[in-house]
Amino acid sequence: MLLKLTLLLLLALPTLALDNGLARTPPMGWMSWERFRCNIDCRNDPKNCISEALYKDMAERLVEDGWLKLGYEYLIIDDCWSFTSRDSRGRLMPDPVRFPNGIPKLAHYVHQLGLKLGIYADMGTHTCAGYPGTTLEQIQTDAQTFAEWQVDMLKFDGCNSNAEEQQQGYPLMSKALNATGRPIVYACSWPVYRGGLPPSVNYTLLGEICNLWRNYYDIEDSWDSVLNIVDWFFQSQDYLQPASGPGRWNDPDMLIIGNFGLSLEQSKAQMALWAIMAAPLIMSNDLRTLSSEARNILQNKAVIAINQDPLGIQGRRILKDEGHIEVFWRPLSKSASALVFLSRRTDMPYRYHSTLSLLNYTTGSYTAYDVFKDEIVFLPSEKTHFTITINPSGVVMWYIYPDESWENIEEF
Ligand SMILES: *[C@@H]1O[C@H](CO)[C@@H](O)[C@H](O)[C@H]1NC(C)=O
Ligand SMILES: *[C@@H]1O[C@H](CO)[C@@H](O)[C@H](O)[C@H]1NC(C)=O
Ligand SMILES: *[C@@H]1O[C@H](CO)[C@@H](O)[C@H](O)[C@H]1NC(C)=O
């Protein structure tokens, strides 16, 4: 059954992806928005305002604290970087006080460290925070500017434009980026502004023009927000899951682990579910003050390997509401798979009993690696009963492989 399902999922994958060779696995990195928003008060809050200094700080942390080695390579500037008007030639320009050396210098600095730079623009008259937007007429100029600045990723938001302008603008920007000759990952916010689901959203088209796209509302610093996003994504999985694949990803938004809204258990849950969803792993936190607990979760090699699996098949929720336990499954390369058991309970650690055959695994013996506990669980047969303890608003995540493929699996 599992094999059949895997095959079906593979066949269901549309074949076309944006042909720029980028984002073959979900992009990983850091973005300013959720944690630092539109804080432009550099006079009173110099360490936390949107500025060259903030991005340089984060760039250094990404390299020195081992993030880059694990794949977190994109440093992404979000809204509020620009000046309140365009320059005399009609080109976007950064705020001269907060970015005194300009974006090309910042790009150079970031590249020297081995990182890549992302930037933000908005399809519309103004960005969401009210800075100059990119109208249809300005798309080519802005694509050219970003390429000249040596930018490696563009997040193209959609505030202050209507459906028709978006219908024209998002494909036009894709063409304009391609025409620059510079490989630039293209992240589209288009679907959010059209409700995220067919028929208003055409995921076939999105996969042809964008590398990733935001389907749903912005994440906020709370468990409610994470659950709301998780619920929407898995309720919509029949539409979203087949839309995703190498070069074309659904984006449930940033990882907020290390901020203020999530407990340790909830932090593990966000990480696990983002890995199941083949979601971009873009942190928005303060890497300068991250706790070691948060760092350990975000740097968990097994979870990252699951997220970055080369097959790039998004996972699904396969069971719901058994004592408020939900089970999620993702097929991986080398006949492996991942399971996440999420507890939505609010009482106490819950002892959950099951077998792999109840989760539709085929005949065989399996080994499960508990990625957060760093423990091995042997399952001599698909019928072997197991009991796991799942904490309230927490997860147990297993990396599972059939025993015959043991040598093929990386050790963590
Ligand atoms: C532009 O598109 C062509 C055809 O789809 C592709 O071969 C090429 O690699 C793309 N170039 C860039 C820079 O994205
Ligand atoms: C969606 O986009 C694809 C690719 O551009 C196109 O072939 C298809 O007709 C579109 N579907 C709908 C329902 O508009
Ligand atoms: C297992 O497969 C059966 C038959 O296709 C299906 O009804 C059931 O929902 C599946 N269960 C899980 C947990 O995937």
Q: Is the CB of 136 under 6 A from ligand 3?
A: no
Neighbours of 335 (CB within 10 A): 17
Helix 139-148 crosses helix 163-180 at what angle (to 10 degrees)? Answer: 40
Helix 52-64 crosses helix 102-112 at what angle (to 10 degrees)? Answer: 10
pLDDT of residue 110 exceeding 60, the answer is yes
Q: Is the CB of 16 under 6 A from ligand 2?
A: no
Ligand 1 centroid–CA 98 distance in Å is: 34
- For residue range 144-190, what is the model confidence (pLDDT) as tens digits? 999 999 999 999 999 999 999 999 999 999 999 999 999 999 999 99
Ligand nearest to the CA of 16: 2
- For residue range 20-40, what is the model confidence (pLDDT) as tens digits? 999 999 999 999 999 999 999
Ligand 1 centroid–CA 20 distance in Å is: 5
Model confidence band, residue 405 (pLDDT cutoffs 50, 70, 90):
confident
- For residue range 184-232, what is the model confidence (pLDDT) as tens digits? 999 999 999 999 999 999 999 999 999 999 999 999 999 999 999 999 9
- Over residues 241-269, the mean pLDDT reads 98
Neighbours of 99 (CB within 10 A): 21
Residue 311 CB-half CA count within 13 A: 22
Q: Is the CB of 204 under 6 A from ligand 2?
A: yes
Ligand 3 atom index nearest CA of 1? 2
Model confidence band, residue 322 (pLDDT cutoffs 50, 70, 90):
confident
pLDDT of residue 9 exceeding 50, the answer is no
Neighbours of 385 (CB within 10 A): 11
| Annotated catalytic residue within 157, 251, 253, 309 | 157
pLDDT of residue 2 exceeding 70, the answer is no
Distance between CA atoms of residues 153 and 156, nearest Å: 10
- Over residues 238-252, the mean pLDDT reads 98
Ligand nearest to the CA of 357: 3
Q: Is the CB of 10 under 6 A from ligand 3?
A: no
Give, using CA atoms, the residue closest to atom 6 of ligand 3.
360
- For residue range 272-305, what is the model confidence (pLDDT) as tens digits? 999 999 999 999 999 999 999 999 999 999 999 9
CA distances from 72 to 102, 276, 289 (A): 24, 18, 17
Return the SS3 of 303.
Answer: helix
Find tokens 């930018």 and name the residue: 151
Please choose, from the candidates 247, 223, 256, the residue with its C-alpha nearest in 3D space to the C-alpha of residue 312: 247
Helix 264-276 crosses helix 223-235 at what angle (to 10 degrees)? Answer: 20
Q: Is the CB of 291 under 6 A from ligand 2?
A: no
- For residue range 114-141, what is the model confidence (pLDDT) as tens digits? 999 999 999 999 999 999 999 999 999 9
Q: Is the CB of 359 under 6 A from ligand 3?
A: yes
Residues 298 and 274 sit within 8 Å (Cβ to Cβ): no
Look up 218 and say whether it is catalytic. yes
Q: What percent of the chain has pLDDT over 70?
A: 95
Please choose, from the candidates 246, 184, 178, 189, the residue with its C-alpha nearest in 3D space to the C-alpha of residue 217: 189
Distance between CA atoms of residues 232 and 343, nearest Å: 17
Pocket around ligand 1: residues whose beta carbon is below 6 Å from it? 19-20, 178, 181-183
Which domains can be identified in the chain, with CATH numbers?
16-307 (3.20.20.70), 316-405 (2.60.40.1180)
Residues 73 and 29 sit within 8 Å (Cβ to Cβ): yes
Residues 306 and 224 sit within 8 Å (Cβ to Cβ): no
According to the model, what pLDDT value does residue 5 have? 45
Ligand nearest to the CA of 325: 3
Q: Is the CB of 205 under 6 A from ligand 2?
A: yes
Model confidence band, residue 8 (pLDDT cutoffs 50, 70, 90):
very low
- For residue range 324-334, what is the model confidence (pLDDT) as tens digits? 999 999 999 99
According to the model, what pLDDT value does residue 408 have? 60
For the chain, the 3-state helix, strand and coil shares in percent, each to the nearest 5, are 35, 20, 45
The single-letter DSSP state of residue 178 is H
According to the model, what pLDDT value does residue 409 have? 63
Ligand 2 centroid–CA 205 distance in Å is: 6
Residues 232 and 240 sit within 8 Å (Cβ to Cβ): no
Look up 251 and say whether it is catalytic. no
| Annotated catalytic residue within 57, 65, 218, 286 | 218
pTM for the structure as a whole: 0.96
According to the model, what pLDDT value does residue 258 have? 98
pLDDT of residue 389 exceeding 80, the answer is yes
- Over residues 352-364, the mean pLDDT reads 96
